[in-house]
Structure 1
């Protein structure tokens, strides 16, 4: 069996008929990750702005020089569509693609139980957790917060809150709209309570580049807020 040292599978494929459904391969010569504008070389001819059939995470990884599969429906390129990147198993290109997908997610964890009585967001004795990612050209990401929250002193009204900030290519301040909260108003003192809270926040319009996200904490109504098992996950889209 013949072996091939590149991603070009053309030798493995028979020429398709000139009409009807078919398949060809091309080389991506230009790619705009913001709006998918593209230039593809097919058989020595440059074709502008072929539609993209596969717009999931694979499309985010496209780059000039990639070999792409093309679905053809007739002889005119006006009815052709890019299926996606062609990647040969076991090649450096395959390793690079899978590494980009998996390494894009960053996770920070702090398990230590610590507390604050401050009603404004700030750090606990152990800062964080933090997670550093590279925001892609899409300018989008998901931020996931999770923490155990509670209080150990008797209180009738109070609670806990946790949000996050960002620094680097993007500057983001804490916000009640991007926070997890535990509050109570029982009318009578309660001596102990612990709950697990989590939420996912979608961010858009970010600047591409390296950005660090860090969790911040606060108490509500002057109670002493306890936090433990803190987790921060950032997933660039």
Structure 2
């Protein structure tokens, strides 16, 4: 517990043993929930959390409600004021998903949207989101395609997934070993971290990886969950 003088904090304990206070988050570790909360000028370390899901959202500067019960002090949750940017970001930050049904031929060796799904969502102050995507693939002998997520955020900041969904990764198709068209599919995902808070647009890009013909992708899906 920090602070040289806790008189202000404890000078007016709740008459019935149960009370409510407000505090400001000074420090918050999103991985361990270790915290420092300023209440009436005194800094308390590592208060317990009643609403565990709030541990994904809290950040320094947030105002939180604190429940007091005798010597126990617990964080109830963050106070979100309607009409503020913080409220707008939180409300618009749920799971967002998009899908494009049907086949699309891929002719370029450069990554491009190629009519793929697009998702726009608000990244919270944690700067993290879980991104997942899936696709089917129609490949002739020796052909391969690859898919990757590319995103653009506030001020033109960009991010791309390190995970690539590729037909050549799922199954190696060597020229002369198979005849006709091979249909296959897969899905993958990863945690995106260090994103600038604000509105982000995520796109599922694809490209031709190998072969002389034009392979195709189909039934592409993209999901983004801010954390």
- The answer on whether the counterparts of 1:53 and 1:84 sit within 8 Å (CA) in structure 2 is no
| Residue equivalent to 1:116 | 106
Partner Cα separation in structure 2 for residue 58 and residue 205 of structure 1:
19
Partner Cα separation in structure 1 for residue 47 and residue 179 of structure 2:
58
| Residue equivalent to 2:150 | 165
Gaps spanning 5+ residues in structure 1: where?
1-12, 17-22, 75-79
Partner Cα separation in structure 2 for residue 149 and residue 122 of structure 1:
16
Partner Cα separation in structure 2 for residue 148 and residue 33 of structure 1:
45
Gaps spanning 5+ residues in structure 2: where?
1-13, 30-34
SS in 1 for 2:48: coil
User: How far does residue 82 in structure 1 lie from its aligned partner after superposition?
Assistant: 2.5
Partner Cα separation in structure 2 for residue 110 and residue 33 of structure 1:
42
RMSD of aligned residue pairs (Cα, Å): 3.2
**In the alignment, structure 1 residue 84 sits paired with structure 2 residue 84:** no
User: How far does residue 123 in structure 1 lie from its aligned partner after superposition?
Assistant: 2.5
Scaled by the length of structure 1, the TM-score of the pair is: 0.67
Scaled by the length of structure 2, the TM-score of the pair is: 0.70
Residue 213 (structure 1) aligned to one of 188, 192, 202: 202
**In the alignment, structure 1 residue 134 sits paired with structure 2 residue 119:** no
- The answer on whether the counterparts of 2:136 and 2:186 sit within 8 Å (CA) in structure 1 is yes
Partner Cα separation in structure 2 for residue 51 and residue 136 of structure 1:
22
Partner Cα separation in structure 1 for residue 93 and residue 198 of structure 2:
15
